[in-house]
Structure formats: structure tokens, C-alpha cells
């Protein structure tokens, strides 16, 4: 089995942007889908900011629902992929810039909507660039995500860098102090199954972990995890997500 894991790790490829389309997984029903939710708030006249855009995969899929938009990321390789992903037909409406979320290089009240999927939130900067009446939509990975994976590797939420998991209660309070009103908060924690080992190994190689994944170092623990959690439906774990929506007053 360990030799098979080595072979898979060498052949599954590398993440490009935040494109996880090659991961085959299935999960229990969830109360919302981020892109569907975003479309409920977007208007064809809106100027939109996407914070932590990655390769622009989600943002570009939303482009038919807004007028103009800017995606930002602090990783130059992500911005390069996002620019490569942008179809010629969208280049006059959607652009990408390298920028830190805590220091947005935009004028006050520049955007009707600010989106943030799985990146850290800096409430004062978001509130500053939002126009009155504008909305901020945020989905984040919760502290209990993939808990049996972390347990198998001896990691817990505190194993991650300080500030990796933000408290949504604290973030909501920061928005209130910045002149915004809470519209909605949500949370789900559902079972998820990786349909094959290749999908699981690609996920391990691609997502941030307390330690950089190395097949020689982590292979035996990964092998034990697969043996323990394999089911007829796939290799079981869980998906924990939190949602926050606010409106600038």
C-alpha cells in the first residue's frame, strides 16, 4: 500500500490556482452553496471585489451576474493563474491584482459587494471600501474541518498558525463596530467521502496543513487513516464551513 501511495503522490499532479475539480468526493446535503448564495445578492450593475480569489475559479463563474469586478490575492502565482483563466470576453470587465486583504488599495466606498471565500477577513478594510447598502459575503473553513484527518496525524486546531481560524463571532462584532449590520450567520458540519485514494492524496498535497505534506514522512499515517476510514461510499471525513453576511449601513 505504501508503495502505491508513493506512486499516486508522484503522478496526481499539482494544484493550479484553487482548482479542485480533479477531486472526486461526495458529501451529505448542506444548507447553502456559496456560488448560488452569491448570485442571490449580485446585481448586473454591481462593482464587485473578490478577496482571496486564488485562480479566480469561483469569481469568474459569477461574472455573468455583475457589471465589473476585481479579484485580489497576496500570492503572485495565484494572480498569474487567474489572469490566464480569464476569457478574452471578460477582460474588459474582470481584472486581478496582487494585494493584501489587510491593506486594500481602493478608494472608500468603491464596491457594491465584497466576496471572501476561505481567506482571512479584515472588517475595517471591507467596511471602508463598501458603499452604503453594500453587502459582504464570507464563507470560511471551520475549526472542525477534516477532524479525523487531523486526529490521525496528531494535529488539532491549535496546530495551525495563530489566526488561521477566525472566530466568526469576533468578526461579526468587528463589522458592527465598523458600521455594518449582521444579515445572516450559518454553519454546517457534514460527512464527506473521497471517492478514491488519488483524490485524497491530491487534497493532501494541495491544502494548507500544519506540516507540508511529504509522502515519505506522512505515508504510514496516511495509510493507517485510509484503512480506518475506508467505507463502501469512499474514504470518510467531514466538511465544516461557516458563513457570515453583513450589510453596510
pLDDT confidence of residue 209:
86
Residue 158 is part of which domain span? 2-248
Question: What are the residue ranges in the chain where pLDDT is below 50?
Answer: none
For residue 9, give the CATH number of its domain: 3.40.50.150
Dihedral (C-alpha) 26, 27, 30, 32: value to the nearest 10 degrees? -40
pLDDT in tens, 202-240: 999 999 889 888 899 999 999 999 999 999 999 999 999
Q: Which run of H or of E encompasses 39?
A: helix 34-41
Beta-carbon-side half-sphere exposure of residue 54 (alpha carbons within 13 Å): 18
pLDDT confidence of residue 4:
86
Closest CA to 78 of 13, 158, 148, 18: 18
- Whole-model pTM? 0.95
Query: Residue 5 and residue 211: Cα distance in Å, rounded?
Result: 18
Q: Say how many domains are in the chain.
A: 1
pLDDT confidence of residue 1:
75
Query: Residue 141 and residue 242: Cα distance in Å, rounded?
Result: 6
Closest CA to 128 of 114, 148, 147, 149: 114
pLDDT confidence of residue 17:
94
pLDDT in tens, 108-132: 999 999 999 999 999 999 999 999 9
Strands (E) in the chain, as ranges, are 25-27, 47-51, 68-73, 94-98, 111-117, 130-141, 180-194, 230-231, 234-248
pLDDT confidence of residue 157:
77
Amino acid at each position: 500500500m505504501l508503495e502505491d501511495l508513493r506512486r499516486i503522490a508522484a503522478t496526481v499532479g499539482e494544484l493550479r490556482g484553487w482548482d479542485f475539480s480533479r477531486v472526486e468526493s461526495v458529501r451529505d446535503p448542506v444548507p447553502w452553496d456559496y456560488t448560488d448564495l452569491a448570485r442571490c445578492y449580485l446585481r448586473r450593475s454591481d462593482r464587485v471585489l473578490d478577496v482571496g480569489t486564488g485562480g479566480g475559479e469561483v469569481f469568474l463563474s459569477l461574472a455573468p451576474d455583475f457589471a465589473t469586478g476585481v479579484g485580489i490575492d497576496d500570492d503572485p502565482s495565484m494572480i498569474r493563474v487567474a489572469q490566464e483563466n480569464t476569457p478574452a470576453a471578460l477582460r474588459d470587465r474582470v481584472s486581478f491584482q496582487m494585494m493584501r486583504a489587510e491593506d486594500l488599495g481602493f478608494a472608500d466606498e468603491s464596491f457594491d459587494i465584497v466576496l471572501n471565500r476561505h481567506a482571512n477577513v479584515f472588517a475595517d478594510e471591507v467596511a471602508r471600501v463598501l458603499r452604503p447598502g453594500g453587502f459582504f459575503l464570507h464563507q470560511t473553513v471551520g475549526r472542525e474541518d477534516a477532524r479525523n484527518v487531523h486526529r490521525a496525524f496528531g494535529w488539532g486546531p491549535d496546530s495551525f498558525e495563530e489566526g488561521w481560524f477566525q472566530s466568526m463571532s469576533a468578526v461579526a462584532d468587528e463589522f458592527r463596530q465598523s458600521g455594518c449590520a449582521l444579515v445572516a450567520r450559518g454553519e454546517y458540519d457534514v460527512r464527506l467521502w473521497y471517492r478514491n485514494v488519488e483524490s485524497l492524496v491530491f487534497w493532501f498535497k494541495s491544502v494548507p496543513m500544519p506540516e507540508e505534506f511529504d509522502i515519505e514522512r506522512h505515508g504510514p499515517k496516511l495509510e493507517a487513516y485510509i484503512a480506518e476510514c475506508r467505507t463502501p461510499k469512499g474514504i470518510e471525513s467531514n466538511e465544516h464551513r461557516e458563513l457570515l453576511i453583513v450589510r453596510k449601513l
